[in-house]
Amino acid sequence: MRVQVEDLARQGLIDIYYYNYQYSLKNAIETNENILNHIDMLEDSPYIGRYIPEILDKRFREIICRKTKHSGYRIMYYISEHSSTIYVFNIINSKQNFNRILKLHNYFKKYYKF
């Protein structure tokens, strides 16, 4: 399967970089490289992630990319069997309230009818 990183996920990656850059350039680079390595794994193993608990549709999955023991990032993606594509649609800090994000963005209607 091919992996396509959507605009919202790209912006999330940029935001994560700049947030971490405030504290350490090395940390910012390492964190983003770690996230990108996790995304690269999806091409060969799309079902490696767990189901996203906030969404009932089982085509929506996520990988947790750990930053520290107590924090990490949620790499959220949608598997389209029809087009053999994995759409990485969002990357957020695991401490963020995803239910709130779902309500704020109509972006997800592209994949899913709420």
Identify the CATH number of the domain in which residue 22 sits: 3.30.2310.20
Number of domains in the chain: 1
Q: Check residues 57 and 34 and name the one with the higher pLDDT.
A: 34
Mean pLDDT of 44-48: 93
What's the confidence (pLDDT) of residue 58?
87
> 73-108 as b/e, with b when 16 or more CB fall inside 10 Å?
bbbbbbbeeeeeebbbbbbbeeeeebeebbeeeeeb
What's the confidence (pLDDT) of residue 113?
47
Mean pLDDT of 12-41: 94
| Domain extent at residue 10 | 2-110
Mean pLDDT of 79-90: 92
Mean pLDDT of 95-107: 69
Confidence of residue 70 (pLDDT cuts 50, 70, 90): low
What's the confidence (pLDDT) of residue 95?
84
pLDDT at 17 over 50: yes
pLDDT at 11 over 90: yes
